[in-house]
Structure 1
């Protein structure tokens, strides 16, 4: 599972845009982002909206499993499908476009629902420090375990099939 993170510090307020990749959407067409954790003070978050224009709730991120994040933003309606891109508007003083990492070196954590068989599963995806830059402050891909594990499993499976044919 992958998502992209694009920041823009050239606007006022600045923006952080989070979106599932086309590959993830093709694999899980009903997947949706429902929670985003940031290491940005809640007071620096002006607002959060999805592609439908819905306002997201912004609050304290205490009690999450991915290190100490400062802010949690969640959708008001978990039944929305395809809510991304999610745009977070921020007013960070002297912001260079990079996001601060937390104590576990995670920059952001994203909760994705409606994945797996019957769209009944969910997963958390995190991203650590990344130097990829698109000229506006950065574009970062967030790799998840199945992205790497599934192709490797397929190769091992093919090798096993071809080995059995030789015997």
Structure 2
């Protein structure tokens, strides 16, 4: 019986700790209609726009200062390859829950950033933060048309066949 009471007390404590968080946050698409993908894919030289979304506020009319951080993870990435710009100083939820700041976050990847780079971007307001993985898509390479590849290959095969035929004669 004592063990059951201890387990019950621990569960109550954990529920109390979980509900002590001011709100849950997420990064949404530019229109503020759905969560952004994770990972986010961005091309070198590209700028993407996102929204900041929050639910379950502990109090209305809070003013929470925005902050951001970029950490290079792999692929020759450097922290300074990526820039996060937030167009507002504060996230102000008002009285509407959920609340979304539409189009306030811009992530820019430098044009000279490595095509294999991976970064971890954290955007937060107040004490809550959202972390998303951001990967650079390979640079756009032109794929040659079929005849551009097929004609030289056919010419080499034809030349090899011709030389082999002359040796047999």
Q: TM-score, normalised by structure 1?
A: 0.34
Greater Rg by CA? 2
User: Whose relative contact order is higher, 1 or 2, with alpha carbons under 8 Å and at least 6 apart?
Assistant: 1
- Structure 1 or 2: more helix by fraction: 2
Q: TM-score, normalised by structure 2?
A: 0.34
